[in-house]
Amino acid sequence: PNGVDTRYFYPASPDPAARLSKDRLTLFTLLRDDPQAGTVLAAKVLQRVKTTIPGIRIITVGNLSSHPPFDTLVEEAIPSASRREMRDIYRRSDIFVDFSMVQGFGLMGLEAMASGVAAVLSATGGAEEYASSACAVLVPPGSEDGFVDAIMDLASNPRKIADLKTEGLRTAAAFDWRKRIDGHADFFESLLSKNNEITSEHREHMLRYLFGRLLRGLMTRSSVTEAQNHLNHALESSCP
């Protein structure tokens, strides 16, 4: 399982009930030129939502953000965004929507939760590994009505948005990468310890290699040093 850096992704306000957009609801989603990303579905859903709630602010990131029909629906179209820019976008959004038809771990949903954003996610792939009805709205993949109903329900229910934010923060905390590192250390150690021919020195070398590969995909650059220190401590505790 993957994890999220909650020291990098965190809410703009400590109060989950705080509405960053005040009188305007802000929705954020990703638009990629990928059949599995649910872009056609996103176009249909956002058109219906915009018709019903003309004042909603829609922010999109991705190479299709300024293409029709999104050019007439989206208020802020961003072709690409750095990790820091993504963090800022999360923190000024009320709702994050992932329209993906197929998903790996679905890290963006977890980043949104860590940033204090109510998440509407496709009930597919890795998102179901961390998301539940308590911390997110899970919609059957490809369900146009399901996504429209979920967004409309949140738009008319600020209390539900606040509740999802609160539970989302708890979920993100449980999936903080520091805790995941400890879990991975225990898992890898349990596998390697079953082979009596592996020496303690070789086992530590293998653990460092496995975690090096893991950290490159999991960490932001600014947190690699801290992650390595945490890993060293975990290895010292698990390797005799």
What is the structure's pLDDT at 219?
Answer: 46
Q: Which residues of 90-113 are buried (b: 16+ CB within 10 A; e: fewer)?
A: bbbbbbbbbbbbebebbbbbbbbb
What is the structure's pLDDT at 188?
Answer: 59
Q: Which of 210, 209, 215 is nearest to 230 (CA)?
A: 215
Q: What is the pLDDT of residues 115-167, one digit of tens each?
A: 999 999 999 877 888 899 999 999 999 999 999 999 999 999 999 999 999 99
Q: Which of 174, 166, 157, 168 is nearest to 16 (CA)?
A: 166
Place of tokens 């597919």: 124
What is the distance between the alpha carbons of residues 102 and 159, in angstroms, rounded to a whole number?
Answer: 30
DSSP secondary structure letter of residue 105: S
Q: Which of 137, 93, 84, 99 is nearest to 116 (CA)?
A: 93
What is the distance between the alpha carbons of residues 4 and 179, in angstroms, rounded to a whole number?
Answer: 10
What is the distance between the alpha carbons of residues 158 and 94, in angstroms, rounded to a whole number?
Answer: 10
Backbone phi, psi, residue 39, to 5°: -65, -40
Bridge partners of 29, per DSSP, are: 60, 97
- Position with higher pLDDT, 139 vs 23: 139
Q: pLDDT band at 181, cuts 50/70/90?
A: low
Tokens representing 109 are: 């949903």
Tokens representing 21 are: 């957009």
Mean pLDDT of the region 16-41: 82
Considering Cα of 219, then 221, then 222, then 223, what sign does the dihedral take? positive
Integer CA distances (angstroms), 212 to 1, 101, 105, 176, in order: 15, 31, 19, 18
What is the distance between the alpha carbons of residues 231 and 3, in angstroms, rounded to a whole number?
Answer: 14
What is the structure's pLDDT at 164?
Answer: 96
